[in-house]
Amino acid sequence: MTAIPQGRTRRAALVTAVCAFAVTGTAVLTGCGSEDPDAGTNGVGKLPAAAIQAKTRAAAQGAPALRLSGTVVTSGRTYQLDMRLKADGGTGSVTSKGATFKLLRVGEQLYMKADADFWNQAGGKAGGDGTGAADTLNGKYVKVPQGDPAYKRFSGFTDKNVLLDGLLTLHGTLTTDGHHDDASTRTIRISGDKGSGGTLDVSLQGTPYPLRLVRAGGAGSLSFSDWGKDFAVSEPAKGETVDYGRQLPAS
């Protein structure tokens, strides 16, 4: 019987080892045979794109809490968000045009918190005597009246269901766009109109939560994390709250 050269045996052993690592890691290498890229996953990668979108939307809506961070472009303005959201409220920071403010929603009550520079830029006045509101509002949670334009503009950033309904919709014909990796988590990507309608990376590990969204038309990108990790939202202390009493300064 013809002996197999030792060099060839070593190469074969190395290929076998590399392929074994690839299957148990986060990628499947070409040249490793017909390994199933969905082996050991939750199986959603084998589904049609529309079914994947339906499952990830259901998973997101069913989660008690999450964190999202990134950018959203709406009505010509770019907002940098870092929000934690749950069914009965949300909290986090928003930055737009170099100005940063915090949002807190407890039930239906929305609060804004910012420094004096923010309120000075907003041009607010505390009353008819022309007294500036900035010192009064500086570092305080300001109750936002529900009839105020600011309530309509910003409350959606703190509303889990409203925000996810608006974000987790890709436009155009849905297709799958390969297996990927997001912070060491294996994902399946779905695309709308080959990417022009947005892309969404969905976890292949555990519950098929959305992990990364690139919105259509350059309207921002967001990362989703801390799915199911609860947090507390509560009314701020009276000493930390200011009731402006009428329409807030336009920002």
Q: What is the pLDDT of residues 185-225, one digit of tens each?
A: 999 999 999 999 999 999 999 999 999 999 999 999 999 99
Q: What is the pLDDT of residue 12?
A: 43
Q: What is the pLDDT of residue 121?
A: 77
Helical (H) or strand (E) element with 78? strand 77-86
Q: Which residues 6+ apart lie within 8 Å of 84 measured at CB?
A: 65, 66, 67, 90, 91, 92, 226, 231
Per-residue confidence band for 35, with pLDDT thresholds at 50, 70 and 90? confident
Q: What is the pLDDT of residue 247?
A: 59
Residue 235 scores a pLDDT above 80? yes
What is the percent of the chain where pLDDT is above 90? 63
Q: What pTM did the predictor assign?
A: 0.80
Query: Who has greater pLDDT, 136 or 195?
Result: 195
Alpha helix (H) residue ranges in the chain: 6-24, 49-62, 116-122, 134-137, 149-154, 160-167
Q: What is the pLDDT of residue 229?
A: 96
Query: Who has greater pLDDT, 242 or 214?
Result: 214
Give the count of beta carbons closer than 10 Å to the beta carbon of residue 175.
17
Q: What is the pLDDT of residue 82?
A: 98
What confidence tens digit (pLDDT) does each residue in 139-196 have? 999 999 988 888 988 999 999 999 999 899 899 999 999 999 999 999 999 999 999 9
Give the count of beta carbons closer than 10 Å to the beta carbon of residue 114.
23
How far is it, in rounded angstroms, from Cα 201 to Cα 181?
9
